[in-house]
Structure 1
Amino acid sequence: MPLIRIERRTHLPAEEAWRRLTTWENHARHVPFTAITVTTAPPTGVGTRFTARTGTGRAGFDDPMEVVRWEPPTADRPGRCRVEKRGRAVLGWAEAEVVPADGGSLAVWSEEVRVRGLPRLLDPPTAWAARLLFGRVVTGLLKER
């Protein structure tokens, strides 16, 4: 699947935007029929694992993930986090970057997701749907109170 990239400017300071984007359980509030369970002890860092369960009842799938890069933002450096998807059905990675900016910050979410067994012919509609979904998630997380 082609790379998708979502950018959102926010009035939030970089540290707060980072916190919102990397509080994994909160992502589920913006993805229908999904619950997220963090399976490692806090705090979040390299090695943190979590699973997004999407579906209802027995009709669904797990999307296990692991944090492989964890660099929170500082006054002079953007924050960067990379998550690798470790499941049997969903493969790929996601990266969050938060850059301090005048009056707030810039949040960038990049993702490459592949569904095992899905033909490449379906990459364009899959990318379109992923942009809609992850754009909604990032926007929602940054607007939460």
Structure 2
Amino acid sequence: MANILLERTVPLPLDEAWRRITQWRRHGEVVPLTRVSVVPPAPTGPGTVVVARSGVGPLSFEDPMEVTLWQPPEDGAPGMCRLEKRGRVVLGWAELEVRPGPGGRTRVVWREEIRIRLLPSLFDGVLRPSARYVFGRALNRLLRRP
């Protein structure tokens, strides 16, 4: 299992940072070789399933994630979303959080525990930096583009 922690401080209001990181289909635009679908399409809440399909042709897999916690930021209070990975290949969870940061900015935190079924923990040393790179790049892109 690989634990990942990504933190960014951005010059965005809480609700705008939240909107950018929880527009699920946009995740497919910023993660290479990935398409994202959502059931039901809107609005997001507990029970919503976000499915990321990654790969090419027969070398692809689905990463279904169920929203188990959905607390958008309200009146300056932090916002938090937790997704539980329910797939055959990728297991674990992800948490996305926005909270007030220094100087009126917003602090965005992405925590993830990722396990690949049948992949021995010996490979965590490769999985962790690879996932940090991919998710870090995705987070940067999500926060940059409205």
TM-score range for the pair, normalised by the shorter chain length: over 0.9
Matched, 1:107 2:111: no
Give CA-to-partner distance per residue, 1:21-57, whole Å, 9 cap, x none. 1111101111111000112141111111121000112
* Counterparts of 1:57 and 1:2, CA distance in 2: 26
Give CA-to-partner distance per residue, 1:42-83, whole Å, 9 cap, x none. 111111112100011222000011100000112342101000
Give structure 1 stretches of 5+ with no counterpart: none
Amino acid in the other structure paired with 2:86: R
**Deviation above 3 Å: which 4+ runs of structure 1?**
none
* Counterparts of 1:43 and 1:52, CA distance in 2: 18
Within a 5 Å distance, the mapping from 1:1-145 to structure 2 comes to 1-101=1-101, 102-145=103-146
* Counterparts of 1:52 and 1:131, CA distance in 2: 17
- Between the aligned residues of both structures, percent identity stands at 50
* Counterparts of 1:99 and 1:84, CA distance in 2: 21
Give CA-to-partner distance per residue, 1:86-115, whole Å, 9 cap, x none. 000000000001002333200000000000
Q: What TM-score, normalized to structure 1?
A: 0.96
* Counterparts of 2:141 and 2:90, CA distance in 1: 23
After TM superposition, give the deviation of residue 13 of structure 1 in Å: 0.4
CA RMSD of the aligned region, Å? 1.0
Give structure 2 stretches of 5+ with no counterpart: none
Amino acid in the other structure paired with 1:140: R
* Counterparts of 1:133 and 1:73, CA distance in 2: 26
8 Å CA contact 2:2, 2:127 repeated in 1: no
8 Å CA contact 1:75, 1:100 repeated in 2: no
Report how many residues are paired: 145
After TM superposition, give the deviation of residue 134 of structure 1 in Å: 0.8
